[in-house]
Amino acid sequence: MPSPQHDSLIRLFRDRPPLAVEVLRDLLGHDLPVTPLVRVENPTFNTRPSDDIEADLVLVLGSPAAPAHGIIVEIQKDTSKEPRQLARYAAALWLQLRCDATVLVVCPDARTAAHYAHPIESGLSGYRLQACVLGPADIPAITDPRQAAAQPELAALAVMVHGRERKVVEAFAAALADLPADHAPKYYEHAYSMSAPDVRRLLEEIMTSTDWPVYSPFAREHFGRGLEEGKAEGKAEEAARMVLLVLTARGLEVPEEIRDRITACTDLARLESWAARAATARTVHDLFGGTDTEDR
């Protein structure tokens, strides 16, 4: 079953298809056609007899009418996948698109990267596949926040591989502040999901020590939850202030324990009920009616 790291890596490439092109060209020195057109393709290759072989991600360079190159992205955390399967993927995509195809294997583990870096004998005479492998040694340690902001996908990969270097995580955290508010949580989630537990703890430590409102374990969920909780807390504080303001305006003395009880309440509905009662209560104790189950 795919792991959170596997899924995050796939989303990282799927969300911005040119990333695979940049990895192949800039990090691995692979020659590819020059085109601004890169799209996600259906990753299922139908064969005969009728079984399906499905890659993690398939990208196509060029227009649908004239595809120039296919890229198959595979995430491998161990050596369990039969290398010949990668050769099948490439052959199937070549048959489907009628253009050259490259297999990019992303391996967070160095031993796994070395395993898939060997030429793959397909079993068909004359057909040997050489996959392009992105291993830990190929991912740079990004310690410049400006570079991290310019290449957030690569910065997230750097956290996964080099996250035990504090400067790498600090650069990533600083870069998030420069990204659009709707993008930053996504990259935080990718980095967190892809990283080892000790790197996650460092990421949490650095992120929670800054003003940027993101909390683990998953940024999208917790970023949104944090904002909603912040709004709810703000409404509760305002409602508590209104209860006390009404009581004071009516000349009712509010003992310290009652004041603390009101300000500590976070139930907005309860506070609104107290505010309504405050307008007619003869004493502050009338605020807490018999229908208030918390006070029974």
Give the C-alpha separation, 111 to 151, whole Å.
26
Position 277 pLDDT exceeds 90 = no
CA distances (Å), 129 to each of 66, 80, 110, 126, 145, in order? 24, 18, 20, 10, 38
Provide mean pLDDT across the span 202-221.
60
Q: Are 104 and 134 in contact (CB under 8 A)?
A: yes
Position 252 pLDDT exceeds 60 = yes
pTM of the model: 0.62
Secondary structure of residue 22 in the 3-state scheme: helix
* pLDDT, position 136: 93
Provide the pairing of β-strand 101-106 with 67-75.
Answer: parallel
Higher pLDDT pick, 115 / 33:
115
Provide mean pLDDT across the span 47-68.
79
Which residue stretches of 105-165 are H helix? 110-116, 145-150, 152-162
Higher pLDDT pick, 8 / 212:
8
Out of 3.30.70, 3.40.1350, 3.90.1690, 3.40.1440, the CATH code matching 4-138 is 3.40.1350
**Which region among 13-17, 77-81, 121-125, 180-184 has the lowest average model confidence (pLDDT)?**
180-184
